[in-house]
Amino acid sequence: MIVHEGRIAVEQGLKTVSQRLSQSGFEITAIPATGAHIPADVDAVVITGGDENLMGQQDTRLTVPVIDARGLDPDEVVAELRQRLEIIGGR
């Protein structure tokens, strides 16, 4: 039985990151690289760039962690997500 660690929105183009997150027990929701609507029920977002004006949206306010995957390997993204989600949710 797989226990889900959380639902993560992952920017399109981060295939290896998505695969590693899925293998690590996260539920993945893909989002396009630009102009994306980020689902309200995600626990975190993984993108390829900074979270300023995220995904081309104006006045974007996210209340979940945003992980910039630039320069990180998939295992580092998993570790960062687990750490950030633990801090927020006391998991």
What class is the 6-89 domain? alpha beta
| Contact of 46 with 70, CB cutoff 8 Å | no
Q: How far apart are CA 1 and CA 75, in angstroms?
A: 22
Alpha-carbon distances of 3 from 13, 27, 43, rounded to whole Å: 25, 10, 15
d(CA 7, CA 59): 23
CA distances from 14 to 32, 46, 52, 69, 75 (A): 11, 9, 19, 8, 13
pLDDT at 91: 47
pTM: 0.80
Domain extents for the chain?
6-89
Say how far apart CA 68 and CA 15 lie, in whole Å: 15
Contact 81, 26 (CB under 8 A): yes
- Per residue in 2-41, pLDDT (tens digit) is 456 799 999 989 999 999 999 999 999 998 766 567 888 8
Mean pLDDT for the chain? 81
Does 82 have pLDDT greater than 90?
Answer: yes
Mean pLDDT of 52-81: 78
Between residues 79 and 5, the one the model is more confident about: 79
